[in-house]
């Protein structure tokens, strides 16, 4: 791996820290402003929807003007947005800050484009695996930093997140060289910048079906991430401390699999078959989780789930990258990140509609649904594999 690759992996880690510091506090911070549950949920949707429209534009612009300037713009937006949110006096300012963070939030897709620029086709999957592991490590450390910041105030978590994003911004400015060697043609209008590609991207040869598959994967994953927490607390009788330990376990196992596991598996199997394996274990795990309301059983199933689930996103990213020309890497990965972002707005809503607090049995319904839907996604991936398979065996 090149020096540029390790720099962008470090930036991904720092960017992940900035994001995961906020995950435990957005809901509670919204409540401080007098928002009800539905209004607070819009804080999440505002960010995801803004990202959905903005990410492909940022990806396309990175193909035109280079990775570095767009990464600088994205990180600057995150710094300003979190500073605004941390010092907000009204809910309106908070909503605007979340919108600003989303509309400039192309950090991940541009970072993935840098990885594509900095790796060969042979080690592309390994590169995405290491980058995902760096991002996953942030999911281990971020909540810990958040707990420390919350000792001051919930707003301090946003300020801490902004300060960490500032570190990533400075590293980008002073240490990351431009990695794009062949710039795309100038855009003629705003639709060529990426908005039109949200629709046209679905018709891209090889890429369109992968975008659909990843959107469905993201939706089923967010159904799980929403439903897992109330099930763990209310059905299994656990508390916030043990829930935090579960997230810590997920993060550690994800890092292990995405560093060593991806490297070992890609030496023996092709990317498509690894994707199928990850989706199969994931769907089977979701269905098994609520079968027996026992903590030890649940932890055992989630360990298996976490290991194999960690394979899915690196394989999708690598397949999209390998099915895309060098000049269109930012566009394709931006589209992928965009559809993944909008899936984050659907999953929690679907899970929330199934759960009724007056009926504890309903806490298991979203987990069963996530399993069934993931199995259907696996079926779609298998049936359409001829469209995107790059190294058949």
Residue 191: the pLDDT is: 46
DSSP string, 35-72: --HHHHHHHHHHHHHHHHHHHHHHHHHHHHH-HHHHHH
Residue 391: the pLDDT is: 53
Which residues, 6 or more positions from 382, have their beta carbon under 8 angstroms from its beta carbon? 276
Instruction: Output Rg (C-alpha) for the chain, integer angstroms.
Output: 20
Total Cβ atoms within 10 A of residue 126? 20
Q: Cα–Cα distances in Å, from 98 out to 79, 115, 389? A: 12, 27, 38
Contact 271, 209 (CB under 8 A): no
Q: Tokens 């274990």, residue?
A: 281
Residue 392: the pLDDT is: 47
Using 70 as the pLDDT threshold, list the residues of the chain that sit under it.
1, 37-38, 41, 106, 182-198, 200, 240-241, 244, 330, 356-358, 391-393
CATH class of 3-180+194-387: mainly alpha
- How far apart, in whole angstroms, are the C-alpha atoms of residue 33 and residue 232? 28
Q: What residue ranges do the domains of the chain occupy?
A: 3-180+194-387
Q: Give the angle subtended at the CA of 216 by the CAs of 212 and 222, to the nearest 5°.
A: 145
pTM: 0.71
């Amino acid at each position: 791996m090149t020096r540029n690759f390790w720099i962008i992996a470090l930036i991904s880690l720092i960017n992940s820290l900035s994001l995961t510091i906020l995950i435990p506090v957005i809901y509670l911070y919204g409540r401080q402003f007098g928002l009800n549950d539905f209004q607070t949920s819009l804080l999440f949707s505002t960010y995801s929807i803004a990202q959905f429209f903005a990410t492909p534009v940022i990806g396309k612009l990175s193909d035109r003007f280079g990775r570095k300037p767009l990464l600088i713009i994205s990180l600057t937006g995150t710094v300003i947005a979190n500073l605004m949110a941390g010092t907000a006096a009204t809910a309106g300012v908070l909503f605007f800050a979340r919108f600003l963070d989303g509309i400039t939030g192309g950090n991940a897709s541009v970072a993935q484009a840098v990885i594509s620029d900095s790796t060969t086709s042979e080690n592309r999957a390994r590169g995405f695996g290491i980058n995902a592991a760096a991002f996953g490590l942030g999911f281990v450390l971020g909540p810990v930093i958040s707990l420390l910041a919350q000792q001051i105030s919930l707003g301090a978590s946003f300020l801490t997140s902004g300060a960490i994003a500032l570190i990533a911004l400075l590293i980008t400015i002073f240490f990351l060289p431009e990695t794009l060697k062949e710039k795309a043609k100038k855009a003629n209008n705003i639709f060529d910048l990426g908005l039109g590609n949200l629709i046209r991207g679905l018709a891209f040869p090889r890429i369109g079906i992968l975008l659909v598959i990843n959107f469905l994967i993201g939706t089923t994953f967010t159904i799980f991430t929403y439903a897992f927490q109330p099930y763990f607390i209310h059905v299994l009788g656990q508390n916030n401390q043990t829930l935090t330990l579960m997230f810590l376990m997920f993060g550690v196992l994800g890092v292990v699999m995405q560093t060593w596991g991806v490297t070992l598996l890609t030496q023996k199997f092709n990317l498509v078959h690894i994707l199928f394996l990850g989706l199969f274990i994931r769907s089977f795990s979701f269905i098994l989780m609520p079968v027996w309301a026992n903590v030890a059983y649940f932890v055992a199933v989630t360990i298996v789930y976490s290991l194999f689930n960690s394979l899915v996103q690196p394989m999708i990213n690598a397949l999209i990258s390998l099915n895309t020309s060098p000049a269109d890497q930012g566009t394709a990965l931006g589209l992928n990140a965009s559809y993944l972002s909008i899936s984050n707005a659907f999953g929690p809503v679907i899970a929330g509609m199934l759960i009724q607090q007056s009926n504890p049995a309903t806490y298991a319904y979203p987990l069963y649904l996530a399993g069934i839907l993931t199995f259907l996604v696996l079926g779609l991936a298998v049936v359409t594999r001829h469209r995107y398979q790059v190294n058949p065996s």
